[in-house]
A and B are shown apart, each in its own frame.
Chain A
Amino acid sequence: RKEVEQDPGPFNVPEGATVAFNCTYSNSASQSFFWYRQDCRKEPKLLMSVYSSGNEDGRFTAQLNRASQYISLLIRDSKLSDSATYLCVVRGFNKFYFGSGTKLNVKP
């Protein structure tokens, strides 16, 4: 079983839509959780960390459910510039595990 699993998508949504991605992880001892964004042929960049109490950054909301071992990312009022691949990242003791990424296409 993979350490981190994500729905690869693609999610095709119109501008202004709300879209949510989920990610599950297998190791209950995982310590930290992140969402990264990767544009085509570019390196991943940190979008936001995910805290136990949930956290929000503008149009982006991240949630963590330790009991069910999943994290989520909600994007409200989607913009064309949100089109990218979103990577779920889970940190173990000294390693970071990446999901395969969920591709989002926001269309006009």
Chain B
Amino acid sequence: GAVVSQHPSRVICKSGTSVKIECRSLDFQATTMFWYRQFPKQSLMLMATSNEGSKATYEQGVEKDKFLINHASLTLSTLTVTSAHPEDSSFYICSARDESRAGELFFGEGSRLTVL
């Protein structure tokens, strides 16, 4: 079946550094990908919609300069957490829609970010 791969699955970094997370659709092309973050025992919170070849659409309250999104190809979107702080520690998940499967949403495995 369709697979979305996310990398890295786990990252620990120092405060002030930047971290890049990749999201790839492995066997389908995705013009739209979504980035979420999830705090413990809470639901997924949509951060932004990543659009191939154009700027991402950010949800209210999400800092676009803090969370840089690049969707350079039909199979790859990246999220860069810039100047990370401990409060950015979270579980980040991407998803992609497979239009050939009625737009079904497939999720990456998630990336657990810990900022020290």
A residues adjacent to B (C-beta < 8 A)? 32, 34, 41-46, 49, 87, 89, 91, 94-101
Cβ A96 vs Cβ B46 within 8 A: yes
B residues near A42, Cβ cutoff 8 Å: 109-110
B residues adjacent to A (C-beta < 8 A)? 6, 32, 34, 36, 42-44, 46, 49, 91, 93, 95, 103-110, 112
- With beta carbons under 8 angstroms apart, the residue of A96, A99, A100, A101 that contacts B105 is A96
Query: A44-B44, A94-B49, A97-B46 given. 17 additional CB < 8 A pairs?
Result: A34-B105, A41-B112, A42-B109, A43-B6, A43-B93, A43-B110, A45-B107, A46-B105, A46-B106, A87-B44, A95-B46, A96-B34, A96-B95, A98-B36, A98-B44, A100-B42, A100-B43
A residues near B42, Cβ cutoff 8 Å: 100
Residue ID in chain A nearest B109 by CB atoms: A43
B residues near A41, Cβ cutoff 8 Å: 91, 110, 112
- List the count of A-B residue pairs having beta carbons below 8 Å apart: 43
B residues near A91, Cβ cutoff 8 Å: 103
Cβ B43 vs Cβ A101 within 8 A: yes
Cβ A46 vs Cβ B104 within 8 A: yes
B residues near A101, Cβ cutoff 8 Å: 43
A101 to B38, CA, bound (A): 12
Residue ID in chain A nearest B4 by CB atoms: A43
A41 to B43, CA, bound (A): 12
